[in-house]
């Protein structure tokens, strides 16, 4: 990708002669994708802003009502709570998933004989839908008939989904169960791209495995860590289906993240105005996190894009 900058400078002159016909021909190719995206992402994005200033029950007429919805939402103690729960889910699932994914990725990038088998098995949780996973864990954790009760392991016999703290822990565990395989794959690819000569040189200098990991592997994985974290955080913001089926936001709102909060206000309570305000907050949180990560990464996960903009 580092090659995109140099050639474009030298090629600018000849391209200019054919420019007219050529870029119009190229531009048309992007139009179908653009139209879909405008119709179902850009317009809704504007729509969610407008709807947050209106009153709508989801079926009847929409009427503009100024700041009513925002006042309702901002005065509701449910909002800071949902923001806090969302933040906790993002932070804790990152803390659990990232070190585990890096370790597994490094291991899978090696040449162990059973690596191929492991790669297949690790991938299975990604194939199951969030609904299927939530349903499975609900049955597995059942205090009367679940795994703990069946195997007679007292510590596993708990009301996992009935206790606020335990239920939150279960959400983090299940999220990790579902997504660690995906992120370890990304890290596996990242590790493979590190030049081997770096490890060979370090080995000659007498660096042990742990030293190599912290001095070479981890710094070289910087951009992979940013890519993986961006996807992880953007994903965490939209953990709707898993939490919806597993706990429906309960018990006592312990797992009521913003996405679930939006659904409950919009479709359960038929208050689309306040639900739109919540949706807009979700969008803003997503953008803020993306900008923050971009700054941390000094150019970010989409290095190709920033290069293009510079070209």
Residue span binding other proteins (CB under 8 A) among the ranges 4-12, 64-72, 73-81, 163-171: 4-12
Question: Number of helices and strands (H, E) in the chain?
Answer: 16, 2
Task: Enumerate residues 6-45 that contact other proteins by CB under 8 A.
Answer: 7-8, 11-12, 15, 19, 22-23, 25-30, 32-34, 36-37, 39-45
Q: Is 72 in the site for other proteins (CB under 8 A)?
A: no
Q: Which tokens sit at 76? A: 């509701």
In the block, which residue shows the tokens 């953008």?
A: 287
Q: Is 211 in the site for other proteins (CB under 8 A)?
A: no
CB-wise, 168 or 274, nearer to other proteins? 274
Q: What's the min distance (Å) between Cβ of 280 and other proteins?
A: 7
Q: Is 127 in the site for other proteins (CB under 8 A)?
A: yes
Sign of CA dihedral 216, 218, 222, 223: positive
The closest of 116, 91, 222, 242 to 177, measured between CA atoms, is 242
- Rounded CA-CA distance 190/184 in Å is 10
Residue span binding other proteins (CB under 8 A) among the ranges 69-77, 90-98, 160-168, 284-292: 284-292
The closest of 105, 259, 241 to 175, measured between CA atoms, is 241
The closest of 123, 141, 103 to 179, measured between CA atoms, is 123
Q: Is 64 in the site for other proteins (CB under 8 A)?
A: no
Task: Enumerate residues 184-203 that contact other proteins by CB under 8 A.
Answer: 185-193, 196, 199-200, 203
CB-wise, 190 or 249, nearer to other proteins? 190
Can you tell me which of 97, 137, 160, 255 binds other proteins, judged by CB under 8 A? 137
In what helix (H) or strand (E) does residue 241 lie, and over which residues does it extend?
Answer: helix 241-246
Residue span binding other proteins (CB under 8 A) among the ranges 65-73, 75-83, 163-171, 300-308: 300-308
CB 294 within 8 A of CB 300: yes
Task: Enumerate residues 97-126 that contact other proteins by CB under 8 A.
Answer: 100, 103-104, 106-113, 116, 118-126
Can you tell me which of 65, 74, 80, 145 binds other proteins, judged by CB under 8 A? 145
Residue span binding other proteins (CB under 8 A) among the ranges 46-54, 66-74, 89-97, 158-166: 46-54
Spell out a b/e string for 197-208, using b for 16 or more CB atoms within 10 Å of the CB, else e. eeeeebeeeebe
Count of residues that interact with other proteins, criterion CB under 8 A: 127
In the block, which residue shows the tokens 């029950």?
A: 57
In terms of DSSP bridges, do strands 63-64 and 54-55 run parallel, antiparallel, or are they unpaired?
A: antiparallel
- Rounded CA-CA distance 276/50 in Å is 9
The closest of 104, 100, 137, 106 to 121, measured between CA atoms, is 104
Can you tell me which of 259, 261, 264, 297 binds other proteins, judged by CB under 8 A? 259
Residues 152-181, mask of contacts with other proteins (x by CB under 8 A): -------------------------x--xx
Q: What's the min distance (Å) between Cβ of 245 and other proteins?
A: 6
């Amino acid at each position: 990708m580092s090659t995109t900058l140099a050639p474009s400078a030298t090629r600018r002159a000849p391209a200019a002669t054919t420019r007219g016909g050529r870029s119009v021909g190229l531009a048309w190719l992007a139009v179908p994708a653009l139209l879909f995206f405008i119709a179902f992402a850009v317009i809704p994005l504007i729509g969610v802003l407008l709807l947050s200033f209106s009153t709508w029950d989801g079926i009847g007429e929409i009427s503009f009502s100024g700041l009513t919805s925002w006042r309702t939402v901002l005065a509701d103690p449910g909002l800071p709570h949902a923001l806090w729960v969302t933040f906790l889910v993002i932070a804790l699932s990152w803390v659990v998933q990232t070190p585990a994914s890096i370790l597994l990725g490094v291991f899978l990038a090696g040449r162990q004989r059973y690596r191929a088998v492991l790669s297949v098995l690790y991938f299975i949780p990604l194939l199951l839908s969030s609904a299927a996973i939530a349903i499975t864990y609900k049955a597995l954790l059942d205090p009367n008939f679940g795994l703990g009760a069946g195997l007679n392991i007292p510590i596993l016999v708990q009301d996992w989904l009935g206790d606020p703290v335990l239920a939150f822990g279960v959400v983090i565990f299940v999220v990790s169960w579902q997504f660690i395989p995906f992120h370890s794959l990304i890290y596996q690819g990242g590790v493979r791209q590190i030049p081997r000569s770096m490890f060979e040189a370090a080995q000659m200098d007498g660096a042990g495995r742990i030293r190599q990991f912290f001095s070479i592997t981890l710094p070289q994985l910087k951009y992979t860590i940013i890519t993986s974290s961006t996807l992880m955080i953007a994903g965490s913001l939209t953990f709707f289906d898993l939490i919806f089926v597993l706990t429906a936001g309960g018990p006592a709102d312990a797992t009521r993240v913003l996405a679930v909060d939006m659904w409950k206000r919009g479709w359960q309570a038929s208050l689309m105005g306040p639900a739109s305000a919540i949706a807009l907050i979700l969008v803003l949180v997503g953008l803020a996190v993306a900008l923050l990560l971009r700054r941390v990464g000094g150019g970010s996960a989409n290095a190709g894009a920033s290069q293009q903009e510079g070209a």
